[in-house]
Amino acid sequence: MVETKVKKEQTPRAKMPEQAPEVRKRNFMEVPLGLTPEMAQAEASRCLQCKSPACVEGCPVSVNIPGFINKIAQGDFEGAAITIWERNALPAVCGRVCPQEIQCEGRCILGKKGSSVAIGYLERFVADYAREKGTVELPKIAPKTGKRVAVIGSGPSGLTVAGDLIVKGHDITIFEAFHQPGGVLVYGIPEFRLPKAIVGSEVSTLAKMGVNIETNSVVGATVTIDELFQEGYDAVYVGVGAGLPRFMNLPGENLIGVFSANEYLTRTNLMKAYRFPEYDTPVARGKNVVVLGAGNVAMDAARTAMRLGAESVKVVYRRSRAEMPARAEELHHAEQEGIEFVLLTNPVQFFGDDKGRLCGMECLKMELGEPDASGRRRPVAIAGSEYRIECDLVVVSVGAQPNPLLTNATPAISLNRWGNIVAHPVTGKTTKKGVWAGGDIVTGMATVILAMGAGREAANSIHDYLTIGW
Amino acid sequence: MFKIINREEMAQGTIVLNEIEAPRIARKAKPGQFVILQANETGERIPLTMADVDPEKGTITIIYMIVGKSTTLFGKMKVGDEYFAVIGPLGKATHIEKKGKVVCVGGGTGIAVLHPITRGLKEAGNEVITILGSRNKDLLILEEKMAKVSDTLYICTDDGSRGHHGFVTDILKDVLAKEDIRLVVAIGPVPMMKFVSKITKEKGVETLVSLNPIMVDGTGMCGGCRVSVGGKTKFACVDGPEFDGHEVDYDELSKRLQAYQADEKLSLEQCRQSL
């Protein structure tokens, strides 16, 4: 017994095969290539199969992690897929975009002394295996209850609610504002990080299970929540995300060439502008690109700019490296691809030519001062340190706010002072009877998996409501 | 979904009308609101303010000039064909109330957008003076419909082939000098709205304009449609599309409309070659 334990700790963590940085920085194909079955089995056999697994506690949707890993180790990949699906309807997505290092893998006992089990890689492996094989059985659907639930928004939380409630026998219709379902998974996260075919496949699994999807439906404009109740829906889940870009209110921000990350990424991802003119929607292709902000979205924008042919891409951030909010893996990938981090630097204004096109920006150098309310040392401008960066494209990626389109049309739903929906922290119930909310519209910008976790809790609460009462 | 049930050509085929099945949108749409349309899966999302709606029939009507690839694709579609996507109704509806004497100024396809607003103003009990402009008599649209909802109708053409030989602003100046006008609504090309607003600002007459900047989602998500109004940045899709004409930065709007000029040209050339 002792022998095996030592062996497990000594087996090195699987290394994900990746496209070489010099190649991938000019294409939109996925960066990590996925583990082989042999690699997956070897990695799975590193798992200690803890009796009270900390990794599961670290997972917002409580996937039975040792359970599915054990099945991989035994070579039962289909069984592993079914084990994950019991708790997570979108494993191919989560295996790619979850911040495992602060969730499951961050709690892994092996990580205390060496490196944790590569849970994310394994989840992705299983999901990809099942999808490519195409023979894994769909979860069983409970007898129909006759209750109807409207899910507004087809992002990660809405898809989770739909997946959870359809198996419980309720009729589900998802209303999506865009022409294609997936929310941030299709408009925001780039192809090279999350291939759209994978999102499409996860959505079509839900459709096969009986979920009805109405695209081109802007709830709040095309139809209101009250009208949905009049149409016979028994409950409504609001998972519309944080869809209002924040700008910095700097002089010159409306020059041609200054974009929100939302616009830049939506054009490129949802509208497939990287394939212009095969697809009709264009996107600005900058030579010298600056991305403002240092979160995951900023890294997505910077790496997209590089793939669209930029000569230089700079990430300009007012704090230091340690405060950059993006995942370590994203920062690492960006640096490998030649993205330059210009830290402790803050934009002041943008300059344009006589045609109103961006040609440069002025920045100020910063230094770190006293800690602020968030506990991070506050950046303070260094007087007289202004300097100019030449650029023809700026992507503003400093966060997003709740979009008021739906909430303005639904006054009975209470909002907090930032415009986020006030929802019960566990159940997701809003102040309007029969309406739940979760994901970024409640929490502000967060992660895919947290939105899914909120969707899971809300789905349980909606099921209780439909079978027991409010 | 989104089937074309009626199609008309106007202005010698340069302008096309489509009546489209969209029951949910038709039930909710009000004058001044817009939809976003996509011809097919690879198409671009194009915002167009609705020219008419029929809630009973469940249809909306759009009128567009064929200028680029997307409107070329729209124009090729026949009765029975379906749009891939129609989203709406988006934006704020026009605030219509009884003001007294009002002037409605329309240019080009802006006249199509102006029509339901003019009808609304007339139905609200206003005395409506309408001034329409076009390059020549053949490009003028909806003259009869506009005449029906106006107390007085003036026509202007750039080449003098019909009505006043000159700009809508010439007539507007005369009307403002003679009458006590409480509101001007101007919808058309950006320079027209700019010069109308310049004149009415000098006279202190309230002026509404409807803007049509480049958009992607039309729901406030991308910020591509931002316009400067009174020195503040507004999103035309959710804060507009109508704004106080005296406060709009038209020069910035004109420039921003040129953002993709080179791409649009390439796209249209390829489209023409393939047809």
CATH of the domain at B146: 3.40.50.80
**Chain A CA closest to residue B92:** A221
pLDDT for B143-200, tens place per residue? 999 999 999 999 999 999 999 999 999 999 999 999 999 999 999 999 999 999 999 9
Tell which residue, B203, B225, B208, has the closest CA to residue B216: B225
Residue A8: the pLDDT is 56
Q: Which of residues 55-114 of B touch A (CB under 8 A)?
A: 69-70, 84-90
Confidence of residue A149 (pLDDT cuts 50, 70, 90): very high
A407-435 tens-digit pLDDT: 999 999 999 999 999 999 999 999 999 99
Q: What is the rounded average pLDDT of the residues B16-42?
A: 96
* Percent of chain A surpassing pLDDT 90: 85
Q: Do B9 and B86 reside in the same domain of the chain?
A: yes
From chain A, the residues in CB contact with B259 under 8 A are 256, 284
The confidence score (pLDDT) of residue A372 equals 84
Task: Give the distance from residue A93's alpha carbon to the nearest chain B alpha carbon, in angstroms.
Answer: 23
- Looking at the fold, whether B194 and B144 belong to one and the same domain comes out as yes
Q: How many domains does chain B have?
A: 2
Query: Which residues, 6 or more positions from A171, have their beta carbon under 8 angstroms from its beta carbon?
Result: A144, A146, A147, A148, A149, A210, A212
Shared domain for B112 and B246, answered yes or no, is yes
pLDDT level of residue A333 (50, 70, 90 thresholds): very high
For A139-153, what is the mean pLDDT? 94
How distant, in Å, are the alpha carbons of A4, A51, A68 from that of A8?
Answer: 6, 16, 17
User: Which residues touch A201 (CB under 8 Å, ≥6 apart)?
Assistant: A92, A131
- pLDDT beyond 50 at A3: no
The runs of H, that is alpha helices, within A29-155 are: 37-44, 54-57, 65-73, 77-85, 91-97, 104-107, 110-113, 119-133
Please, which pLDDT band fits residue B272 given cuts at 50, 70 and 90?
A: confident
**How many C-beta atoms lie closer than 10 Å to residue A25's C-beta?**
21
Choose from A222, A230, A354, A355 for mutation: most chain B CBs within 10 A. A222
Contacts of A116 (CB under 8 A, 6+ apart): A13, A105, A106, A108, A110
Q: What is the mean pLDDT of chain B?
A: 95
Are residue B111 and residue B170 in the same domain, yes or no?
yes
Given a cut of 50, whether residue A2 has pLDDT beyond it is no
Regarding whether B210 and B130 lie in a shared domain, the answer is yes
Nearest Cβ partner of A267 from B216, B233, B255? B216
Task: Give, in order, the Cα–Cα distances in Å from A21 to each of A18, A30, A143, A332.
Answer: 8, 12, 51, 11
pLDDT at site B1:
85
Residues of B in contact with A253 (CB under 8 A): 233
Q: To the nearest whole number, what is the mean pLDDT of chain A?
A: 93
Residue B271 placed within a domain:
no
Cβ proximity of A295 and A318 under 8 Å:
no
Last residue of a domain, one of B90, B124, B143: B90
pLDDT at A104 over 80: yes
pLDDT at A88: 87
- Mean pLDDT confidence for B221-240: 96
* Structural domain includes residue B270: no
Q: Tell whether B41 and B127 lie within a shared domain.
A: no
* Secondary structure (3-state) at B86: strand
Whether B204 and B229 map to the same domain: the answer is yes
Residue B36 sits in the same domain as residue B139 = no
Residue B224 within a domain? yes
* CB-closest option in B89, B217, B227 to A266: B217
pLDDT digits (tens, 9 = 90+) for A257-306: 999 999 999 999 999 999 999 999 999 999 999 999 999 999 999 999 99
Q: From B41, B57, B90, give the residue that closes a domain.
A: B90
Q: What is the rounded CA–CA span in Å between residue B97 and residue B166?
A: 31
Give the mutation candidate from B227, B263, B270, B274 for the A interface (greatest A CB count, under 10 A).
Answer: B263
Answer whether residue A176 shows pLDDT above 60.
yes
Q: What is the pLDDT of residue A60?
A: 87
Statement to judge: residues B109 and B162 lie in one domain: yes
Closest CA to B165 of B155, B173, B174, B175: B155
CA nearest neighbour of A397 among A306, A318, A309: A318
Which 3 state secondary structure label does DSSP give B101?
strand
Is B135 among the domain residues?
yes
Residues B150 and B242 in one domain: yes
Same domain, B68 and B109: no
Q: Are residues B90 and A281, on separate chains, in Cβ contact within 8 Å?
A: no
Q: Among the residues of A237-341, which ranges form H helices? A: 261-268, 296-307, 328-336
The pLDDT, as a whole number, for residue B157 is 95
Please determine, for residue B125, whether its predicted confidence score (pLDDT) is greater than 70: yes
Final residue belonging to a domain, choices B90, B123, B153: B90
Chain B residue numbers with beta carbons less than 8 Å from the beta carbon of A246 are none
The pLDDT score that the predictor gives to residue A1 is: 42
Helix (H, G, I), strand (E, B) or coil at B99: coil
Q: Of all helices (H) and strands (E), which one includes residue B36?
A: strand B34-38
- Report the 10 Å Cβ neighbour count for A403: 24
For residue B7, what is the domain's CATH number?
Answer: 2.40.30.10
Does residue B222 lie in a domain region? yes
Question: What domain range is B17 assigned to?
Answer: 2-90
B82 and B36 in one domain?
A: yes
pLDDT recorded at residue A243 = 86
Kindly state the DSSP code that residue A243 receives in the 8-state scheme. -
- Calculate mean pLDDT across residues B203-214: 96
Distance between alpha carbon A380 and the CA centroid of its chain, in Å? 31
In a domain, B36, yes or no: yes
Q: Is the pLDDT of residue A9 over 70?
A: no
pLDDT bin (cut points 50, 70, 90) of residue A113 is confident
Per the structure block, which two tokens stand in for A289? 């690109």
Which of A178, A216, A228 should we substitute to test contact with B (largest number of B Cβ atoms within 10 Å)? Answer: A216
Structural domain contains residue B240: yes
- In this structure, is residue B233 part of a structural domain? yes
The DSSP secondary-structure symbol of A141 reads P
